[in-house]
């Protein structure tokens, strides 16, 4: 069942790419492309619901809210693993956590940091408070 869904999903994906390439400024083609994207998204959601149990699906949805790019990558990885036969049954939450941890180890961390410029705060004088009636 899953194999047939995956084959039809890959053929839908190819059709969607072709429609997107052909869809210039024609409204009918844009509408058709949107319908293709929606059908592809529905197919992906159907496959994921068959591959993940409820807890794992909830965790993936939470990840999608906070980090959509990472969630999309994980969804693609799960579908590819199922296509290759690496997933036997449904993935539970513990297995999804292991998959996410291994993915985190492989991906480089972003060095995002918040810096405070305390010098600007020192430039503010208390004399301005009189203007506001404080």
Q: What is the pLDDT of residues 10-35, one digit of tens each?
A: 555 555 555 555 545 688 888 899 99
Inside any domain, residue 78: yes
Domain range for 83 is 39-104
Question: Does residue 122 form part of some domain?
Answer: no
* 111 occurs within a structural domain: no
Q: Which helix (H) or strand (E) holds 8?
A: helix 2-22
pLDDT at 129 over 70: no
Q: What token pair was written down for 86?
A: 């690496």
Stated pTM of the model: 0.60
pLDDT one-digit tens code per residue, 89-118: 889 999 999 999 988 888 777 666 778 777
Q: Is there a domain that residue 74 lies in?
A: yes
What confidence tens digit (pLDDT) does each residue in 38-59 have? 999 899 999 999 999 999 999 9
Domain assignment of residue 57, yes or no:
yes
Please tell me the distance from the alpha carbon of residue 90 to that of residue 53, in angstroms, as a whole number. 6
Instruction: Output the pLDDT for position 108.
Output: 73
What confidence score (pLDDT) does residue 116 get?
75
Tokens of 109: 């961390």
How many domains is the chain built from?
Answer: 1
CB atoms under 10 Å from CB of 74, counted, come to 20
| 59: exposed, middle or buried (Cβ count in 10 Å: 0-12, 13-18, 19+) | middle
Q: What is the pLDDT of residue 64?
A: 93
Tell whether 53 is covered by a domain.
yes
Task: Indicate whether 59 belongs to any domain.
Answer: yes
Please report the pLDDT score of residue 29 as a whole number. 86
User: Nearest to residue 93, comparing CAs of 63, 58, 69?
Assistant: 58
State the Rg of the chain over Cα.
Answer: 24
Higher pLDDT, 30 or 9: 30
pLDDT at 18: 56
C-alpha closest to that of 87 among 42, 59, 48: 48
Residue 33 forms part of a structural domain: no
CATH of the domain at 77: 1.10.8.140
């Amino acid at each position: 069942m899953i194999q047939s869904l995956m084959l039809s999903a890959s053929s839908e994906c190819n059709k969607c790419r072709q429609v997107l390439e052909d869809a210039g400024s024609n409204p009918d083609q844009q509408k058709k492309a949107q319908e293709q994207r929606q059908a592809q998204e529905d197919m992906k959601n159907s496959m994921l619901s068959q591959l993940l149990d409820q807890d794992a699906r909830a965790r993936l949805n939470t990840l999608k809210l906070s980090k959509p790019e990472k969630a999309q990558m994980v969804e693609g990885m799960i579908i590819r693993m199922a296509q290759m036969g690496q997933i036997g049954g449904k993935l539970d939450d513990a297995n999804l956590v292991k998959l996410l941890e291994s993915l985190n180890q492989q991906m480089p961390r972003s060095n995002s940091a918040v810096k405070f410029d305390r010098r600007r705060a020192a430039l503010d004088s208390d004399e301005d408070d009189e203007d506001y009636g404080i």
